Chain A
Amino acid sequence: MQLNNSHISFIREDLERRGLVADDLLDELVDHFCEKVGERMDGGIRFFEAYQWALDDFGAERTVRMVQEENIRITQQPKNMLRNYFLIAWRNIKKQKFYSFINIFGLAVGIAASMLISLYVINELQYDNFHVKGDRIYRITSDIHFGENDFNFAVAPAPMAAALIQDFPEIENVVRFRSYGSNLIRPIDENSNIKVDRLVYSDSTFFDIFSFSLLQGNPETALSGTNKAIISRSTAERLYGTIDVLGKQVFINGSFQAEISGVYENMPANSHLQFDTMVSMETLQESFNTIWLSNNFYTYLLLQEGADPEALEAKFPDMVERYIGPQVKQFTGQDFEEAKQSGAKIEFILQPLTEIYLKSNFTFDIGQTGDIQVVYIFSAIALLIIVLACINFMNLSTARSATRAKEVGIRKVLGSVRPHLIRQFLTESILLTAISFLIALGLASLFLPWFNRIAQKSLTLPFDDPAFYIISIGGILLLGSGAGLYPSLFLSAFRPVQVLKGKILNSRSGTPVRSTLVVFQFVITIVLLLGTAAVYKQLDYIQSKKLGFDKEQVLIVRDAYMLGNDTDVYKNRMLASANVRDATLSGYLPIEKSNRSDMSFWEEGKSADEENMVNSQVWQVDHSYIPTLGMNIVEGRNFSVDFPSDSSAVILNERAVQAFNLNDPVGSRIVTLGMNPENNEIIPDETITFTVIGVVEDFHFNNMHQAISPLMFQLGRNEGYLSFRFNSENAGDVITLAEKEWNTLNPGTPFSYTFLSDEFATMYTNEKRLGQVFSIFAGLAILIGCLGLFGLATYLAEQRTKEIGIRKVLGASNEKIIVLLSRDFGRLIIVAILISIPLAWYMIREWLVSFEYKTKVGWEIYAAVALVAMLIAGISILYQSIKAALSNPAEIIRNE
């Protein structure tokens, strides 16, 4: 006779309870007993008696356990042990396809995400590691406080390099870089210029310090002398199509000629120095400047072997006294000592080469910098995600692998069986982890191109690095045994905490450790969600904040100086179009890649000392600047052609008025030192006086991390950019016209343009990227969390079918059942919410602190996220709860 399912289940559970816990053997004996009992029942005996007889005939419980011990002893014979464990593990995984799938998928996603992040982090940590003398290379940075101003620069005074080499024998060599933004180059006998964004002037000692390879030319002499230039491989190919270009002549910026004295290999991607062209420093007049009060030159030095950077740094204050002190007196009339006493500070600090990329936080820098904070955050996220995935793994494994009957049975078996169970379970975990790992590799490869796009890198999976395989295998073993350890110990009845508390093991969701894991999982998810919301809110705030100027509909044409005498012609032709409303010529714009220049001023009649000096931005603009950019004059007036005296007039921003302490700004006069425009040298004993004719509303010209500082406009001809305000509907037409006119007037130079709004947006790429990354990982965390929660809920609902059936028979309504099943989880989610809200609030506040201008993350955000979390959990659980609640109680009971 064929036994029905409830008979079979009964036999199975009874055997489990009696100590038959090895899965494979259990199946075989269940089948055996089914046959035996079936035959007996054919003789008319009822099930229970038939089973009782069959068990006795077999040899009772004792024999069952003996068979199991024999079986385990055979399994553990060394020659087949690994294979046996492996086969059973594989079989078990297949047996529970649903849970195995959830486990594997969740873990795979977690591993893949962590893999990608690790690649990124490792890449960020390996900048500048290829320089042979790298551990002896340092950069001079400055920490200056003078008057109202704080400066943190990565640049030093022009004459400092020479003084360093002369005064300090522990310095072996020194090199300076001076960059001037974007440049144009053409071969002498051609008319077309190419744009070179990364051009620097460099001292001849460059190759003695840094390890870059010169493909053509002599590293000793390539940068010595005037008017010599070395170019990168890609620049050479852009200009000539070949790298065999030694000795050729080029014309730079339409203003001077240089001989190509070398071609160097493109600088590797993991170098913070990225130059396309390098011109010999002696070509630059400014490099002979002897003023110590202005800082424009990046200065790197190479220490002697064994020299102590700290000892050297300790000698710098002395150097400051010797060289800068007298110049302070010379230019401001104040004694350096006095200035220091009123709080002035000029300090130079050595920055090791290895720290430059990640730990530079200066107002501007020589190239791209990363951010060590981002590296920390990313590493933390990678770790979190792995932890999340492991938590899921543990939870699910624990839940599904122990039925109540089996738990009872485990407590009965001899010592030899428990190690077997542990080994069995660990094998399963490691196998699952290995499979997940392989899938993760696939996922990572799939998403790598897209990740590279977001992270702006070109990362690859290091398949040819043996270390990769070693770490992977180690990782699989570690992860597999770690994730499988808790469940295996749990399975093998090792529960000291429970025992101490006198608790009885049960598979309800109230198990303390499992509950903690669920809470932890949700805390991570909620915090990530809140973090994402905060970043996006701040981004939104930045985008829509009143800037003090109108960034929309302004076309910026670059390299206007190349138009030479035709600049005004071009401008007027553009203005003639109906689409163009206003135009202005100035290289000073409220975007990052434009001119900045500062000078110190004091109010006429006051003494030029620490207290009264105000350092202010000085922007050279024309009459139409303020209207073109949509700025607001709040007092006084704009520059006007009707007033020739405006040539010595300035317009201050509100912050400057504040800094000068002017009660009635219009009409005030301010004074500064005379300056030689050719080499930016200050002329002592000469002063210039300006009259304030107007005040402009404060506008943002730095990113929102920094406060608006004092700024003034002066009339002057600065030919960096031509900016046009146009009507919105015809952007395309405006660009076309601009290009056409440009090519007519200046065919040799590529037409290059951008929009003010786009440039503005690029100031916040870091934050945007952060927002994207956060949302991706929040999404991932939710995915992994939901998977886990869903699997867990499924399993627990199945477990409680009998209980549910009984409750329904006793009269419980469907709603009550649903509430019952959801209640346990609901409580956990509430706890998670209560923990994560203060945590997230604190972290968000810390991040926003770095912004001078920030949004508020109000309670409605927290409430919304809490709701979302509950929704997510709810959906995961509810489906199962409802399904269980709607099941037919009669069927369930009958099956018992």
Chain B
Amino acid sequence: MHDKELVRGTLQTIILQLLKNNGEMYGYEISQKVKELSDGKILVTEGALYPALHKLESEGWLTIRKEKNGKRVRKYYSLTDVGYVTVSEKIETFRAFINTMYSVLEINAV
């Protein structure tokens, strides 16, 4: 798997989990939070973030709310009920995958 592929597959999980834990957030806020949680390491480029957000919305896992602020329009994302359910599934899938990888690679959790 390519680096980018790895990140993209997990990007959706990251976004979903963040929204589950923090409620409603807007794009820039999400990118800043990821940066903060990953200790400043470049995990999510902004260029990848927005397509992922839009895809999640079109799948019906996120819903949006727009707020006007003068000349700016802020778009807030939040989980739908379906999205909420999906988060746990995705986390589980990810956990299972990591465990399998550990077994296959015959290494221990770090």
A residues within 8 Å of B by Cβ?
5, 8-9, 12, 25, 27-32, 34-36, 57-59, 63, 66-67, 70-71, 74-75, 77, 80
State the CA gap A70–B52 with chains docked (Å): 9
**Alpha-carbon separation in the docked complex, A30 to B58 (Å):** 21
Across the interface, name the chain A residue whose C-beta is closest to B74.
A31
Question: Using Cβ atoms and an 8 Å threshold, which residues of chain A touch B71?
Answer: 5, 8-9, 12
Contact of B70 among A5, A28, A35, A57 (CB under 8 A): A5
Given A32-B27, A74-B58, A80-B58: A59 in contact with B51 (beta carbons within 8 A)? no
> Chain A residues near B27 (CB, 8 Å)?
28, 31-32
| Neighbour of A71 across the interface among B26, B50, B74, CB < 8 A | B50
How far, in whole Å, are A58 and B72 apart by their CA atoms in the complex? 19
- A31 & B51 in contact (Cβ 8 Å cutoff): no
**Pick the contact of B50 from A27, A28, A57, A75 — CB < 8 Å?**
A28
Bound-state CA distance A35–B69 (Å) is: 13
- Nearest A residue to B57 via CB reads A74
B72 neighbours in A (Cβ, 8 Å):
8, 27, 30-31, 34
Q: Which residues of B contact A27 (CB under 8 A)?
A: 72-73, 75
Q: How far is the CB of A4 from chain B (nearest CB, A)?
A: 9
Q: Scan residues 26-74 of chain B and give those whose CB is less than 8 A from a CB of chain A.
A: 26-28, 45-47, 50-51, 54-55, 58, 70-74
Q: How distant is the Cα of A817 from the Cα of B40 in the complex, in angstroms? A: 55
Contacts of B46 in A (CB 8 A): 32, 57-59, 63
Q: A5-B70, A5-B71 are in contact. List 11 more A-B contacts (CB 8 A).
A: A8-B72, A12-B71, A25-B50, A27-B73, A27-B75, A28-B50, A31-B27, A31-B28, A57-B46, A67-B47, A74-B58
Q: Collect the chain A residues with CB atoms within 8 Å of residue B50's CB.
A: 25, 28-29, 67, 70-71
Bound complex: CA A743 to CA B55 (Å): 91
**B62 nearest CB across to chain A (Å):** 12
Interchain CA distance A27-B50 in the complex, whole Å? 13
Cα distance, A806 to B47, chains bound together (Å): 38
**Interface pair A71/B54, CB less than 8 Å apart:** yes
Contact B26 A31 (CB under 8 A): yes
Among B70, B72, B73, B75, find the residue whose CB has the most chain A CB atoms closer than 10 A: B72
B51 adjacent to A67 (CB under 8 Å):
yes
Chain B residues within 8 Å of A67, by CB? 47, 50-51
Interface residues of B in 14-34 (CB under 8 A from A): 26-28
Q: B residues within 8 Å of A by Cβ?
A: 26-28, 45-47, 50-51, 54-55, 58, 70-75
A31 neighbours in B (Cβ, 8 Å): 26-28, 72-75
CB-CB < 8 A to A74: which residues of B?
51, 54-55, 58
Query: Complex formed: what's the CA distance from A63 to B45 in Å?
Result: 10
Given A28-B75, A34-B72, A71 and B28 contact (CB-CB distance below 8 Å) = no
Contacts A74-B54, A74-B58, A80-B58 given; indicate if A63 touches B28 (C-beta within 8 A): no
Q: Whole-angstrom distance between the alpha carbons of A36 and B46 in the complex?
A: 11
Asked whether B28 lies within 8 Å of A32 as measured between CB atoms, the reply is yes
Q: How far is the CB of A807 from chain B (nearest CB, A)?
A: 25
Q: Measured between C-beta atoms, what is the minimum distance from B9 to chain A in Å?
A: 16
Query: What CA separation (Å) do A71 and B47 show in the bound complex?
Result: 11
**Cβ contact within 8 Å between B75 and A59:** no
Of A8, A35, A36, most buried by chain B (CB within 10 Å of CB) is A35
B residues within 8 A CB of A57? 46
Which residues of chain A come closer than 8 Å to B73, judged between CB atoms? 27-28, 30-31
Q: B57 → chain A, closest Cβ, in Å?
A: 8
Interface contact A70-B51, CB-CB below 8 Å = yes
Interface pair A58/B75, CB less than 8 Å apart: no
**Nearest Cβ in chain B — how far from A709, in angstroms?**
77
Bound Cα distance A28, B57 (Å): 14
Q: Which residues of B contact A36 (CB under 8 A)?
A: 28
A27 to B70, CA, bound (A): 12
Residue of B nearest to A72 (CB): B54
Residue numbers in B under 8 Å from A8 (CB-CB): 70-72
Residues of B within 8 A of A29 (CB): 50
Q: How far is the CA of A29 from the CA of B55 in the complex (A)?
A: 16
Q: Please provide the 8 A-B residue pairs with the shortest distance between their CB atoms, ordered closest to farther.
A: A70-B51, A63-B47, A27-B73, A35-B28, A59-B47, A8-B71, A32-B28, A28-B75
Q: Chain A nearest CB: distance from B49 CB in Å? A: 9
Q: List 15 A-B contacts (CB under 8 A).
A: A12-B71, A27-B73, A28-B27, A29-B50, A30-B73, A32-B46, A35-B28, A63-B45, A63-B46, A67-B50, A67-B51, A70-B50, A70-B54, A74-B54, A75-B58
In whole Å, how far is A26's beta carbon from the nearest beta carbon of chain B?
9
Complex CA gap A66/B45 in Å reads 13
Bound-state Cα–Cα, A785 to B65, Å: 39
Which of A66, A70, A75 has most chain B Cβ within 10 Å?
Answer: A70
Across the interface, do B75 and A77 meet the contact criterion of CB distance under 8 Å? no
The reply to whether A66 and B28 form a contact with Cβ atoms under 8 Å apart is no
Q: How far is the CA of A778 from the CA of B35 in the complex (A)?
A: 66
Partner of A58, one of B47, B51, B58: B47
Q: How far is the CB of A346 from chain B (nearest CB, A)?
A: 83
Enumerate chain A residues within 8 angstroms of B28, measured Cβ to Cβ. Answer: 31-32, 35-36
Could you tell me the distance between the alpha carbons of A457 and B96 in the complex, rounded to whole angstroms? 79
- Output the nearest chain B residue to A69 by Cβ-Cβ distance: B51
The residue in chain B whose Cβ has the minimal distance to the Cβ of A71 is: B54
Contacts of A5 in B (CB 8 A): 70-71
User: Of A28, A34, A35, A66, which is within 8 A of B47 by CB?
Assistant: A66
